């Protein structure tokens, strides 16, 4: 026979409604048997109380009829009264009187006798006690007392016992239990229905929130309104809105990348196509080689543009994804990068160097910082003529770390210094080799590191010599774990690579 029960997948979460319902009903089913046990115990206690009182009165009535003659107890109770004592339609009633010698005075001889208490002399005369016992195969509830001829004389006493079977008690206890338990068979199913209904109503805000999300258009990444959102769902909704904001940033970054790529790649591709068409029509080998060199130059520019577009996209994505930053030494990183530009500086006959300042600890991403410094050095070498100088330095100043790339190029106006970080902006008088993205990438990466980027013209030397060139500066927060702040070097030594 095929097993129709499906095995539950541990990775599949049950519905929230079912989980809450289980956690509410499981304790109820656990407590119900306990409540039945307590009901049974208290029902027996309540049912026994009035019949115990009746036995107490019987024992007290017999004790009042006891007299002692020469230390021997006598019962002044007529036979009719004894018959009345035994009269009961449901239970059997037994009694007897036993003197100090264990001799039966009157009553049922086989009725069990309780053990003598250890301090019999301290037992108060006429004080009634109760116990459960058996007689003739029946369970008895027995009330008994000791009556003394005179206080402090335990040798002249009589034991009075009245026992009764427990049928009436059982019947009354069963009625009490039934009156309590039977309504529960109606109340508990009703409670389950009410709990189910209450949960259905209580989870309606969750259903409404789900419907609002499902009804959204695919391109709608606007935040979900927090109105009518329950307090318990507010953190979940806020987290979802935060995720939507990150998705919106990523989508916008992708759109900007596509728009930038489409806009910027159109010109170099058109130039390449034109050069290729001209090369196809050339018959002169010299002109053909010239056309091919132009194509090669165009390919290099297009490749450089694509690399910068990709770098800009990575920088934007890192800023939106809050990429993990780690402790690193900015001075060591700068030295390693400057060494990689030595060959290019030699080719352009530019004196490239850096000024060491000792360890400068920051928290950053080495890959993005390399991209940023490479763009700054590329920008400085591109706009510095042959025979010029480019100097890289890094130092600590108070709570901040400063990275500077200084060049002796054509300089920049104060007006342009505020615009060069915009995408595709090119200052007046600049050549056509750049793409206008290098400093935009620098700004994006600086924002990822909570740093500030600036480009300003150099000021004149102390001797009054006019200055020419620019200083690109990035201001980072120093790593807070550094025990001592790094001062500005009093004197720096230039280490030249070219």
Q: What is the pLDDT of residues 344-399, one digit of tens each?
A: 889 889 999 888 888 888 888 888 888 889 888 988 888 888 889 999 999 888 88
Q: Are 232 and 209 in contact (CB under 8 A)?
A: no
pLDDT score of 136 more than 50? yes
pTM of the shown model? 0.46
pLDDT score of 17 more than 80? no
Confidence grade of residue 486 (pLDDT, cut at 50, 70, 90): very low
Provide the pLDDT for residue 257. 63
Rg of the chain over all Cα atoms, to the nearest angstrom: 52
pLDDT score of 333 more than 50? yes
Q: Say which residue, 351 or 319, is predicted with more confidence.
A: 351
**Number of Cβ within a 10 Å radius of residue 474:** 24
Sequence-separated (6 or more) residues with CB below 8 Å from residue 89: none
Provide the pLDDT for residue 45. 84
Q: Residues 447-478: pLDDT tens digits?
A: 888 888 888 887 755 444 445 788 899 999 87
Exposure string for 378-413, b = 16+ CB within 10 A, e = fewer: bbbbebbeeebbbbbbbbbeeebbbbbbbbbbbbbe
Confidence grade of residue 489 (pLDDT, cut at 50, 70, 90): very low
Provide the pLDDT for residue 309. 65
Q: Are 389 and 404 in contact (CB under 8 A)?
A: no
How much of the chain exceeds pLDDT 90, in percent? 5
CA distance 230 to 9: 31
Strand locations in 227-372 (E): 326-329, 351-355, 361-364
Mean pLDDT for the stretch of residues 157-173: 87
CA distance 31 to 25: 10
Q: Say which residue, 1 or 326, is predicted with more confidence.
A: 326
pLDDT score of 191 more than 90? no
CA distance 357 to 478: 14
Of the ranges 12-21, 236-245, 280-289, which one carries the lowest mean pLDDT score? Answer: 12-21
Q: Residues 40-72: pLDDT tens digits?
A: 888 888 888 888 888 888 888 888 888 887 777
* Residues 483, 486, 488: CA angle, nearest 5 degrees: 165
CA distance 307 to 300: 10
How much of the chain exceeds pLDDT 70, in percent? 76
pLDDT score of 86 more than 50? yes
Distance of CA 6 to the CA centre of its chain: 32
pLDDT score of 77 more than 50? yes
Mean pLDDT for the stretch of residues 89-102: 84
Mean pLDDT for the stretch of residues 245-260: 72
The structural domains of the chain, ordered by start, are 33-115+123-173 (3.30.450), 324-496 (3.30.565.10)
Residue 385 phi, psi (nearest 5): -75, 170
The β-bridge partners of 134 are 139
Q: Are 156 and 150 in contact (CB under 8 A)?
A: yes
Confidence grade of residue 121 (pLDDT, cut at 50, 70, 90): low
Sequence-separated (6 or more) residues with CB below 8 Å from residue 386: 348, 349, 350
Token pair, residue 45, equals: 């206690």
* Residues 237, 243, 248: CA angle, nearest 5 degrees: 125
pLDDT score of 198 more than 60? yes
Average pLDDT, the chain: 77
Token pair, residue 24, equals: 């509410």
3-state helix, strand, coil in the chain (%, to 5): 50, 20, 35
Of the ranges 202-206, 236-240, 335-339, 344-348, which one carries the lowest mean pLDDT score? Answer: 202-206
pLDDT score of 321 more than 90? no
Provide the pLDDT for residue 390. 93
Task: Give SS3 for 323.
Answer: coil
Provide the pLDDT for residue 464. 43
The β-bridge partners of 403 are 394, 474
């Amino acid at each position: 026979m095929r097993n129709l029960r499906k095995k539950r997948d541990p990775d599949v979460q049950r519905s929230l409604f079912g989980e809450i319902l289980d956690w509410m009903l499981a304790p109820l089913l656990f407590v119900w048997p306990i409540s039945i046990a307590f009901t049974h115990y208290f029902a027996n206690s309540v049912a026994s109380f009035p019949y115990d009182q009746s036995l107490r009165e019987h024992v007290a009535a017999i004790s009042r009829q006891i007299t002692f003659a020469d230390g021997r107890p006598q019962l002044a109770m007529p036979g009719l009264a004894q018959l009345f004592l035994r009269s009961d339609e449901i239970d059997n009633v037994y009694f007897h009187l036993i003197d100090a010698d264990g001799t039966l005075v009157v009553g049922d001889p086989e009725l069990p006798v309780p053990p003598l208490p250890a301090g019999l002399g301290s037992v108060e005369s006429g004080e009634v006690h109760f116990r459960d016992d058996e007689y003739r195969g029946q369970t008895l509830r027995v009330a008994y007392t000791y009556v003394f001829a005179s206080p402090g004389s335990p040798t002249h006493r009589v034991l009075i016992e009245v026992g009764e079977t427990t049928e009436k008690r059982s019947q009354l206890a069963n009625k009490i239990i039934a009156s309590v338990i039977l309504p529960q068979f109606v109340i508990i199913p009703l409670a389950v229905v009410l709990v189910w209904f209450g949960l259905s109503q209580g989870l309606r805000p969750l259903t409404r929130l789900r419907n609002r999300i499902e009804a959204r258009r695919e391109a709608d990444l606007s935040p979900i309104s927090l109105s009518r959102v329950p307090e318990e769902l507010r953190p979940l909704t806020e987290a979802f809105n935060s995720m939507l904001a990150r998705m919106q940033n990523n989508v916008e970054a992708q759109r900007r990348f596509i728009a930038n790529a489409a806009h910027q790649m159109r010109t170099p591709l058109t130039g390449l196509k034109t050069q290729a068409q001209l090369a196809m029509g050339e018959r002169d080998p010299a002109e053909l080689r010239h056309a091919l060199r132009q194509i090669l130059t165009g390919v290099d520019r297009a490749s450089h543009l694509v690399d910068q577009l990709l770098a800009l996209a990575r920088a934007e994505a890192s800023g939106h994804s809050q990429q993990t930053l780690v402790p690193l030494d900015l001075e060591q990183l700068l030295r390693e990068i400057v060494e990689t530009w030595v060959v290019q500086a030699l080719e352009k006959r530019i004196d490239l160097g850096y000024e060491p300042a000792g360890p400068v600890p920051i928290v950053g991403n080495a890959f993005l910082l390399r991209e940023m410094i490479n763009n700054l050095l590329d920008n400085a070498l591109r706009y510095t003529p042959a025979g010029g100088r480019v100097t890289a330095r890094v130092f600590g100043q108070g709570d901040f770390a400063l990275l500077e790339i200084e060049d002796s190029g054509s300089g920049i106006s104060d007006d342009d210094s505020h615009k060069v970080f915009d995408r595709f902006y090119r200052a007046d008088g600049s050549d056509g080799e750049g793409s206008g993205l290098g400093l935009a990438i620098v700004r994006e990466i600086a924002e990822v590191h909570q740093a500030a980027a600036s480009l300003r013209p150099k000021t004149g030397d102390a001797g009054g010599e006019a200055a020419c060139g620019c200083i690109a500066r990035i201001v980072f927060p120093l790593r807070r774990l550094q025990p001592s702040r790094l001062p500005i070097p009093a004197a720096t030594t230039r280490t030249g690579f070219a």
